Each structure stands twice: as C-alpha cells, then as structure tokens.
Amino acid sequence: YKNVVPDVLHMKLRISDVLLAEIISLITITSTIAERAQHLRNVLTFLEQRAKDMKTNHKFILTKKNEIEVSGRLNSQMHERFLRDLPLDAIMKDYQKAFFIKKLCNDFFDLMKLYSISDIYQYVKNESIKWCQRYTSLFGAAAVTIYIHVLGNHAFEFHQEYDNLGLYTLQGNEKFNDVTTKDFFLSTNKRNFNDQLLKKRIRARLIDIALKPSGLALLNKLFFNWKINDTISAQESSRNSFFFLNEDPHRIYIRC
C-alpha cells in the first residue's frame, strides 16, 4: 500500500473539518434545555466574529434542528487561521478543557508541517501517535475518523519511505487547473452549469483539432470574426477572439 502516497494537504483539510465540527458540537452543549436557545445564539455570534476577524470564508447556519452547520468554500489555510489560538475560553465554562483543545489545534498544524521535513522520522512518528491519543482523550473514540486513524497509525510510515510528503500533494495541479481554465472544476457549483460544461467540452474537442497539422488554420478560417463570450479572460478575448487555440502548442490542458 505504500505505493499510494497520501496527500498531506488534503489530510490537513479533512482533519481540520473534523476538529471544527467536534469543537462546535462540544461548545453547544448546555446543562438545561431552557438555556440552549440563547447559548446557541451566543455560540453563533462567537463563530461568526471569529471568521470575520480571521478573514476566512467560514459560514455558520443554525438549522431547524437547533444545530450549527459549517459551510463556505474553505481550504486548509483558512481552517488554520480560524482554529489556531482559538479563544474557546470566551464561550466555554471549562477553561482547562478550552486550553487543551486550543493546544491540540495548534499542535496539529505544527505537526503537519513536520511531514515536509526529512530525517526526523522517529520524532514525527512519536508526535503523531501522541497527538491522536490526546484527540481521542478530548473528543472520544467515536470521533476518530479515517483521516485521524491514518495520521496516528500510518502517515509516519510514508514519511519514512518518501521523506518530504509535501512534494506529493495535488495543490500544484489544482492551481494549474485554475490558471489554465479559470473555473474549469467550479462550474458544477454555479448557476447554468450545464451551459458552462458544454462550452468546456466543445473547447476540449476544438483544442484536439487545433493541435493537429493545419488544424489551427482550419479553425481560424471556420470561426473568422466569431466572437466568443467566455469566462476565461475578457482582456485576452478582446485581443484575439480565438485566443484559447492560439497559445503555446506545448501547453497541457486537463479535462474533466
């Protein structure tokens, strides 16, 4: 199984998701039903203010079941800004537990950085195991997800095998997709996504033709004076209505 290297950036994102969910679940607990409604509003205000202060995209919704859910287009960096040094003592009565949870979050983000450093395998292993034990002690065994299990039992094995696991993340590929096609993989989350996906499919087919001998000249003749209303770049479109086929032929396009 060591031939499949885990993406530590994705693991950081998913464990951050779990940490935030467990923290919200914990801080919304009340001693009596009578005080729950007001306490939930206080927690919601606390979380919204934290997101505003840290300039993240965290959105919090109070559902009909009186539960707080998290939404928003989030990444691991936003989670780190939100969770690092989280002042839980402002909303929790158990100050000691609030301190330990804050330290757990801080230590997690510090731990993930260690997976990008070589020649500290045993230290990373010990810290990973201890972190997961502390997590289980604070939130319970039922809160251990597959990503936390991997962190506490297997991630350090890959670190020993491949050294810097930061070199094996998909962050570069995701950024490359954003740069080459702007919203290639975002269209299913937007309105009129069928129209957007159809445009992208047609574009991919046209690119195949353009890369063939005389293909670009043929398509330029076919679409002479044709104006493309696309979302990629208004500036490039005004310069050349057929810009996306008139680029470097060695450029790589990744399709959905």
Per-residue confidence in pLDDT tens, the chain, 256 aa: 556 777 888 899 999 999 999 999 999 998 888 899 999 999 999 999 999 999 999 999 999 888 999 998 888 999 999 999 999 999 998 999 999 999 999 999 999 999 999 889 999 999 999 999 999 999 999 999 999 999 999 999 988 988 888 877 766 555 555 444 555 445 445 556 566 667 777 777 777 887 888 887 877 777 665 554 444 444 444 334 444 444 443 333 333 3
Q: How far apart are the first and last CA of the chain?
A: 27
Q: Which structure tokens are listed for 43? A: 């927690």
Same domain, 46 and 156: yes
Residue 236 shares a structural domain with residue 127: no
Angle between helices 76-83 and 36-54 (to 10 degrees): 120
Residue 43 and residue 105 in one domain? yes
Enclosing domain of residue 35: 8-168
Residues 46 and 85 in one domain: yes
H/E segment holding residue 126: helix 121-139
Nearest CA among 15, 215, 248 for reference residue 131: 15
- pLDDT tens-digit readout, 22-58: 999 999 998 888 899 999 999 999 999 999 999 999 9
User: Within this chain, do residues 152 and 48 fall inside the same structural domain, yes or no?
Assistant: yes
Sign of the alpha-carbon dihedral angle for 35, 140, 79, 171: negative
Q: Could you tell me the maximum CA-CA distance found in the chain, to the nearest angstrom?
A: 76
Tokens of 242: 């057929």
Name the token pair of 84: 């690092």
Within this chain, do residues 112 and 20 fall inside the same structural domain, yes or no? yes
252 falls within a domain = no
- In the chain, the number of structural domains is 2
Give, in order, the Cα–Cα distances in Å from 175 to each of 170, 179, 185, 204: 9, 6, 11, 19
With tokens 């909303």, the residue in question is 91
Report the chain's C-alpha Rg in angstroms: 24
Residue 127, CA distances (Å) to 14, 65, 224, 232 in order: 19, 38, 63, 45
Give the residue from 133, 168, 203 where a domain finishes.
168
What is the SS3 string spanning 224-245?
A: CCCCCCCCCCHHHHHHCCCHHH
The two tokens of residue 157 are: 């094995």
CA 246 to chain centroid: 33
The answer to whether the CB of 78 falls within 8 A of the CB of 55 is: no
| Amino acid occupying residue 72 | G
Residue 28 in any domain: the answer is yes
If we measure between CA atoms, which residue out of 19, 210, 191 comes closest to residue 104?
Answer: 19
Which of 136, 168, 200 is at the close of a domain?
Answer: 168
Residue 181 DSSP SS3: helix
> pLDDT tens digits, residue range 190-208?
556 566 667 777 777 777 8
Instruction: Give residue 14's pLDDT.
Output: 93
